[in-house]
Amino acid sequence: MVFDFYQRRKLKTVVEAPLTRIILLFLVLLMGWSAYTRWSISNDMEQRRAEAEREFQELRQQKESLEKQVQYLSDDRGIEAEMRRQFDVALNNEQVVVIVEPEQDETKAATSTYQDSEDPAWYEFWR
């Protein structure tokens, strides 16, 4: 389609008009804002996805741990071991030995220096 001289001049005046430039600038800014908003949402969704995957891995590990524990407790040997651990139970003809550490006198332990011994070692001079 070929424009004649007057039609091209009319088109040129419309395109070069300040109102047309303002409308085009407004459309460019609107499209830029829309693109930035979409990029921001995409970035946010990517972070949420990474967090959900991390949480999924933690839950998977917890599930495996619980499955192992259920497997352990479903066996008679596991039940017996757990009862012995929590309730200090023993079978008939079994003896239970409880080992208790002797209590240490804190005042003596705290004040034991070279003054307690009659002949202190040479390196205890600096204490």
Residues 79-120 pLDDT 10s: 888 888 888 777 778 777 778 888 876 655 555 554 555 666
Q: What is the pLDDT of residue 116?
A: 52
Q: What is the pLDDT of residue 66?
A: 96
The Cα 63–Cα 77 span in angstroms is 22
Domain that residue 31 falls in: 5-96
25 pLDDT band, cuts 50/70/90, is very high
- Residue 83 vs residue 57, higher pLDDT: 57
**pTM (2 d.p.):** 0.46
Alpha helices in the chain (DSSP H): 5-15, 18-74, 76-87, 106-111
103 falls within a domain: no
54 falls within a domain: yes
62 pLDDT band, cuts 50/70/90, is very high
17 falls within a domain: yes
